[in-house]
Amino acid sequence: MAKSAYFHIPFCAQICYYCDFNKVFFHGQPVDEYLQAMEKEMKRTMEAFPADRLDTLFVGGGTPTVLEMKQLDFFLQSIYKHFRFSAAEVEFTFEANPNELSKEKLQLLKEAGVNRLSFGVQTFDDALLKAIGRTHRYEDVIKTIALAKEIGFENISIDLMYGLPRQTVAQFLTDLEIAFSLDVQHISAYSLIIEPKTVFYNLMRKGKLLLPSEEEEAKMYEEAMRQMEMHDYHQYEISNYARPGFQSRHNLTYWNNEEYYGIGAGAHSYVGGVRRANVRPIKKYIAKVEETGFPYLEVHHVTKSEQMEEEMFLGLRKTEGVSKQRFFEKFGMSIPDVFGQAVAREKQKGLLEETETHIRLTQRGKLLGNEVFQAFIGGI
């Protein structure tokens, strides 16, 4: 049974120009009704798919910290009411915007057992922050991380982005330098992906989005990998780097192809071999929970072939790669039995390599990860 749970808070004070997550403006929304619906979904989910004890909890969005104090308190109490976990052992993560976390909110989160904060920093360059639709500025990051440390948070992650409009390699190197000076435990570094239905997508279609070249973006990624290692942040997944002992246990749930609960509008879950996707619109989510207790839009029973494909393309995101022994234990077949030709082809291209225990991406393979993942989809 699932040992992890994800909770989606879809409200934002400002919509970023690149974001395609399920989100809406905070003001004018039925926020209290939404949180009550989430509480009902938690209750019904635990009744239908009970869990002994969770190991990780992750609250994402949207922007969870946009909630007002009373709303935040109600939401946290709902989690405690319906999910069992050990406060001493759980990894409890909250995503946050640097300019939306007051001292009072930080104290509330700390007292409620949240022990990991993930800040959407993206860049420390104020002009770039404005250009991508972020509302915080460099000083907000410095002040909020200092405040979080003062209150007692000892597991802090920041997100950085590269390949942003007009961003130079030099600017990204400066971002890395500042990030290292903050002495946080975890850094995620993602390349910008232009998604449909975003402001950036519309600008790109009109020819008004000037992006770095592929060579410049590759240079930024290579520099991230090199510099992170120099500063004791070890790459454990394509876009994620951690100090020893601070890997994101929750995200490893996904990459290890393990099961998890998903609560909230647009959230996904994987329980009992079944993947479920919740409806996305806020009012539809509330109505569906009221009607049936479950807000499912799609329910998909994952076949053995699909499970094996997922084991490969999710597991290859990890630096250590896919465990041969674990694959055999899960499926009763070896990787060469199922994917021998695909592995051989990608090895020949120099994108995969094999150790005694794992199959993993090469350094070049990390630059072309999506191409490698495609080799394991639909080929069984």
Q: Per residue in 352-364, pLDDT tens?
A: 999 999 999 999 9
pLDDT tens, residue by residue, 194-249: 677 767 667 767 877 777 799 999 999 999 999 999 999 999 999 999 999 999 99
Pick among 3.90.226.10, 3.40.50.720, 3.20.20.70, 3.20.20.140: CATH of 4-255: 3.20.20.70
Q: How many residues does the chain have?
A: 380
259, 229, 254: which is closest to 244 by C-alpha? Answer: 229
Distant-in-sequence, close-in-space partners of 16: CB < 8 Å, separation ≥ 6: 132, 133, 134
pLDDT value at 1 more than 80: no
pLDDT tens, residue by residue, 146-159: 999 999 999 999 99
- Which DSSP letter does residue 48 get? H
Q: Considering the chain, tell me which residue range(s) the CATH 3.20.20.70 domain(s) occupy.
A: 4-255
Distance of alpha carbon 271 from alpha carbon 138, whole angstroms: 40
Q: What is the mean pLDDT of residues 104-116?
A: 97
266, 267, 164: which is closest to 212 by C-alpha? Answer: 164
pTM of the model: 0.94
Pick among 1.10.10.920, 1.10.10.10, 3.40.50.620, 3.40.630.30: CATH of 304-374: 1.10.10.920
SS3 per-residue string spanning 102-161: CHHHHHHHHHCCCCEEEEEEECCCHHHHHHCCCCCCHHHHHHHHHHHHHHCCCCEEEEEE
Q: Considering the chain, tell me which residue range(s) the CATH 1.10.10.920 domain(s) occupy.
A: 304-374
Q: What is the pLDDT of residue 211?
A: 78
Q: What is the pLDDT of residue 91?
A: 98
Residues β-bridged to residue 276: 269, 299
